[in-house]
Amino acid sequence: MKRSFLIKPMLDDDYPTAKYGKGIYIYDENDKQYLDGSSGAVTAGIGHAVPEIIEAMHAQAQKISFVYRSQFTTEEAERLAEKLSHIEFIKDGEYCSFFVNSGSEATETAMKIAIQYWQEQGKPTRIKVISRWTSYHGITMGALSLSGHSERRKRFVSLLDDLPTIHAPYCYRCPFAESFPGCQLKCASELEGAIQRLGADQIAAFIAEPIIGAAGAVIVPPEGYYERIKEICERYEILFIADEVMTGIGRTGKMLAMEHWDVKPDIIALGKGMSAGYTPIAATLVSEEVMKPIRQGSKVIMSGHTYSANPQSAAVALAVLDYIERHHLVEEAAENGAYLLNELQKLAKNYPIIGDVRGKGLMAGVEFVSNFFSKYPFSKNVNLTNRIVATARDKGLLIYPASAGIEGGDGDAVIISPPLTIKKHEIDQLIHIFRDTIEEVQGGLMM
Ligand code: PLP
């Protein structure tokens, strides 16, 4: 292996070198084709090397690529914020955007704004944010404090804020050993218990991924869950932050996933699909209701980065959002997502290592078990998720390794989330390679 000076996620792994991409495919240095079945990390929402986006990048670079946000605003950043505020589902809330560079910064900013909202109203004790133990909100210390992803937390636990958590709405393995609807949504009601235990005057907000991604491989809550959560938040005057970094911008068949339940968050974190991976940009969207005391109070949000509201990235995000609109990709994601899920569910019937298939839109999760009936997970030594991801990659399919959702980060699962531009015949190709992968990995297991 050639000496590399690049620090990669796994230092000893031999990664293929990406040479170029086209649509839903990526090609390596040997022109081997990979179907991007996960949009990278659920990011490349419109596929690779789309000519309209390249043109927008070029046009913006000829104008200006950088200004410092304390010295200038730009037409591109202003237009992007306006466009996001016009998302049909949330437009009544007059949300303003604070631009950052990553999903981690977006959730961390959301946390800071929630705390500031209370400070401006003379309630400085409201600083805790309740989250769910099965969650991933980002890798910076604040965002990691909100996250229950044990593998990513374990080295830093003593530095992280010890924030309160509740269980996730993980029906496949109900944390209360019940089933829906008989459970009466204990997982949602648990929020009330947590608030009462801590005292509402200590709590700024509750944060949740509408559909859990990396930490739970697409855990979709049961009907009524978010309605109950919102009702509890309102009763105790706690802000509701939706982390739509993975689910936002059409991924689940709606522009924002919270639209599935018609529940409006006070603050929304966006990232990934916003610029579909072409340049880094993310956003914290804040409702006017939350902005009001800040406007009337200190008039400044104490956060921000050198690259915040970068015009090059804003221009790209605008072009991506236009592209999604013009090609009706949100509607396509709903339709093709239903097809993908159905095909995965059919496939699962033949492979007992597949315990559960779940999803919404083009965000599907597949959870693996060593015993289909007891749902017993594979031992960590089997290294199943990595074996499946590596075998799929060898066969020319990229899928995203995730935790199954078992608290503590145990359990094997993958996320399948191709670009929203994928066509049915390409989904057939994806399913074909995935079937070959499962066949080979299952066949190689001592069961
Ligand atoms: N929030 C969610 C729901 C995510 O899935 C992620 C990343 O996977 C993040 C936040 C962090 O985003 P980033 O990796 O861009 O910092």
Question: Which of 39, 99, 104, 151 has the most ligand 1 atoms within 8 A of CB, as the residue to mutate?
Answer: 104
In this structure, the answer to whether residues 294 and 351 fall within a common structural domain is: no
The closest residue, in CA terms, to atom 10 on ligand 1 is 137
In sequence order, the 6+-apart residues with CB closer than 8 A to the CB of 75 are none
DSSP letter for each residue of 256-298: SGGGGGT---SEEEE-GGGTTTSS--EEEEE-HHHHHHHHHTT
CA–CA dist 287, 140 (Å, integer)? 24
Strand arrangement, sheet containing 165-166: 96-100, 282-286, 267-270, 239-243, 203-208, 128-132, 165-166
Question: Which of 137, 146, 307 has the most ligand 1 atoms within 8 A of CB, as the residue to mutate?
Answer: 137
Structural domains of the chain, count: 2
pTM greater than 0.80? yes
Q: Is the torsion defined by CA of 147, 153, 156, 157 positive or negative?
A: positive
For residue 210, report the distance from its CA to the centre of ligand 1, in Å: 13
| pLDDT score at 408 | 76
Last residue within a domain, chosen from 326, 349, 366: 326
In this structure, the answer to whether residues 312 and 430 fall within a common structural domain is: no
Question: Which of 131, 245, 252, 256 has the most ligand 1 atoms within 8 A of CB, as the residue to mutate?
Answer: 245
Query: How high does pLDDT run on average in the chain?
Result: 96
For residue 246, report the distance from its CA to the centre of ligand 1, in Å: 7
Contacts 24+ apart (CB under 8 A), 224-227: 224/181, 224/185, 224/188, 225/169, 225/185, 225/187, 225/188, 225/261, 226/188, 226/258, 226/261, 226/263, 227/261, 227/263
Q: How confident is the model at residue 264 (pLDDT cuts 50, 70, 90)?
A: very high
Q: Which helix (H) or strand (E) holds 402?
A: strand 400-406
For residue 105, report the distance from its CA to the centre of ligand 1, in Å: 9
Cβ 319 vs Cβ 50: under 8 Å: no
Q: Which two tokens stand for residue 285?
A: 């969207």
What ipTM was assigned to the predicted interfaces of this complex?
A: 0.99
Residue 147 lies in a domain: yes
Cβ 111 vs Cβ 129: under 8 Å: yes
In this structure, the answer to whether residues 269 and 300 fall within a common structural domain is: yes
Residue 105 lies in a domain: yes
In this structure, the answer to whether residues 286 and 410 fall within a common structural domain is: no
For residue 216, report the distance from its CA to the centre of ligand 1, in Å: 13
Last residue within a domain, chosen from 300, 326, 352: 326
For residue 252, report the distance from its CA to the centre of ligand 1, in Å: 16
| pLDDT score at 281 | 98
Rounded to whole angstroms, the maximal C-alpha distance in the chain is 65
Rg (CA), the chain: 21
Q: Give the atom of ligand 1 at the shortest distance from the alpha carbon of 272.
A: 15
Give me the residue label for tokens 């990229």.
Answer: 398
Return the beta strands (E) in 42-113 as ranges: 96-100
Q: What is the mean pLDDT of residues 417-424?
A: 98
Q: Is 409 exposed, middle or buried (0-12, 13-18, 19+ CB in 10 A)?
A: buried
In this structure, the answer to whether residues 160 and 287 fall within a common structural domain is: yes
Return the beta strands (E) in 50-182 as ranges: 96-100, 128-132, 165-166
Whether 262 shows a pLDDT value over 80: the answer reads yes
For residue 104, report the distance from its CA to the centre of ligand 1, in Å: 6
For residue 427, report the distance from its CA to the centre of ligand 1, in Å: 25
DSSP class of residue 7 equals -
The answer to which of 196-200, 392-396, 409-413, 435-439 has the lowest mean pLDDT is 409-413
- What digits encode the pLDDT tens for the residues 366-391? 999 999 999 999 999 999 999 999 99
Whether 266 shows a pLDDT value over 70: the answer reads yes
Cross-strand pairs, 226? none
DSSP class of residue 185 equals T
Where in the sequence is the domain holding 247, given as residue range(s)? Answer: 55-326
Last residue within a domain, chosen from 326, 349, 382: 326
Q: Give the atom of ligand 1 at the shortest distance from the alpha carbon of 244.
A: 3
In this structure, the answer to whether residues 26 and 73 fall within a common structural domain is: no
- What digits encode the pLDDT tens for the residues 145-203? 999 978 889 899 999 988 899 999 999 999 999 999 999 999 999 999 999 999 999 99
Q: Give the atom of ligand 1 at the shortest distance from the alpha carbon of 102.
A: 15
Give me the residue label for tokens 């990396």.
Answer: 214
Residue 108 lies in a domain: yes
Q: What is the mean pLDDT of residues 213-226?
A: 97
Residue 13 lies in a domain: no
Q: What is the mean pLDDT of residues 354-374?
A: 98
Q: What is the mean pLDDT of residues 33-49?
A: 98
Pocket of ligand 1 (CB under 6 A): 41, 102-104, 107, 136-139, 209, 213-214, 243, 245-246, 271
What CATH number is given to the structural domain containing 376? 3.90.1150.10
| pLDDT score at 10 | 87
The residue that leads in pLDDT, 53 or 153, is 53
Cβ 107 vs Cβ 269: under 8 Å: yes
Q: Give the atom of ligand 1 at the shortest distance from the alpha carbon of 104.
A: 16
In this structure, the answer to whether residues 84 and 209 fall within a common structural domain is: yes
Q: Give the atom of ligand 1 at the shortest distance from the alpha carbon of 135.
A: 3
| pLDDT score at 447 | 63
